[in-house]
């Protein structure tokens, strides 16, 4: 069996579980595509998908790569452990993702349509997005502080004779 598994890895490049999970993902993607087409929203879905690919790969990726490079240059070192910038990357990325998904409501760009559909105003969405963003950064800062405190405490404990 070991010989067969090593031959499989040499031919395919990964284990059989990888192929099985990849096939399941493609199957699920095909199911979602059939549901999108059946709902008649495939043109909007395709526009969002192509726009997201273009926006991410051609605009956002270079921007946040430059931001990351700048943050590392400011810190002046390449850390062996996860950098403090990770505690800024994660909440910033999540806040940006939330804004990207909900921007018509956050920026009140769809007030008339939203009010007509559900009878409510879009005015609370900006405050809610800001509150979630502040909470994300606060939790991240707290985790960073706990990590730093724990590391200092561990160093003091291990440096004692």
The 10s digit of each residue's pLDDT in 2-26 is 777 778 788 888 888 899 999 999 9
Confidence grade of residue 79 (pLDDT, cut at 50, 70, 90): low
Burial 140-149 (b: 16+ CB within 10 A, else e): beeeeeeeee
Res 1 pLDDT > 60: no
Alpha-helical runs (H) found in 13-123? 16-39, 42-54, 61-75, 86-106, 111-118
Q: How confident is the model at residue 63 (pLDDT cuts 50, 70, 90)?
A: confident
72, 60: one domain: yes
C-alpha span between 137 and 96 (Å, rounded): 12
- If asked whether residues 34 and 63 sit together in one domain, one would say no
> Which residue did the predictor score with more confidence, 75 or 46?
46
- The Cα 83–Cα 79 span in angstroms is 6
Q: How many domains does the chain have?
A: 3
Q: Do 103 and 154 share a domain, yes or no?
A: yes
Phi, psi of 14 (to 5 degrees): -155, 175
- pLDDT, one tens digit per residue, over 108-153 is 888 888 888 889 899 999 999 999 999 999 999 999 999 888 777 6
> In terms of domains, do 33 and 53 share one?
no
Same domain, 96 and 159: yes
Give the predicted TM-score (pTM) of the model: 0.59
Could you give the 3-state DSSP secondary structure of residue 41?
coil
Query: Domain ends where: 78, 105, 134?
Result: 78
Domain limits for position 51: 41-78
Cα separation of the two ends of the chain: 52
Shared domain for 119 and 51, answered yes or no, is no
Sign of dihedral through CA atoms 111, 112, 114, 119?
A: positive
15 contact partners, CB below 8 Å, separation of at least 6:
5, 8, 9
84-116 residue pLDDT tens: 778 888 999 899 989 988 888 999 888 888 888
Task: Please tell me what DSSP assigns to residue 83.
Answer: P
The token pair at 128 is 């809610």
Dig out the tokens for 18 from the structure: 């990888």
Higher pLDDT: 153 or 38? It is 38
The reply to whether 16 and 73 lie within a common domain is: no
Please indicate, yes or no, whether residues 88 and 156 belong to a single structural domain of this protein: yes
**Confidence tier at 156 by pLDDT (50, 70, 90):** low
Same domain, 59 and 89: no
- Rounded CA-CA distance 139/35 in Å is 38
Residues 87, 153: one domain?
A: yes
Task: Give the residue, 50 or 155, on which the prediction is more confident.
Answer: 50
Q: Indicate if 123 and 152 belong to the same structural domain.
A: yes
Predicted pLDDT at 10: 84
Q: Are residues 65 and 89 in the same domain?
A: no
């Amino acid at each position: 069996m070991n010989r067969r598994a090593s031959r499989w890895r040499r031919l395919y490049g990964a284990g059989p579980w990888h192929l099985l999970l990849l096939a399941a993902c493609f199957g699920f993607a095909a199911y979602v595509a059939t549901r999108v087409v059946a709902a008649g929203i495939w043109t909007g879905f395709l526009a969002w998908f192509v726009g997201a690919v273009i926006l991410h790969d051609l605009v956002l990726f270079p921007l946040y790569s430059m931001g990351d490079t700048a943050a590392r240059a400011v810190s002046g070192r390449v850390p062996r452990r996860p950098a403090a910038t990770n505690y800024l990357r994660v909440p910033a990325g999540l806040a940006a993702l939330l804004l990207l998904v909900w921007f018509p409501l956050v920026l009140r760009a769809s007030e008339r349509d939203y009010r007509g559909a559900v009878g409510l105003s879009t005015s609370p969405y900006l405050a809610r997005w800001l509150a979630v963003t502040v909470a994300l950064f606060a939790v991240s800062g707290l985790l960073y502080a706990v990590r730093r405190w724990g590391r200092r405490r561990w160093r003091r404990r291990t440096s004692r004779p």
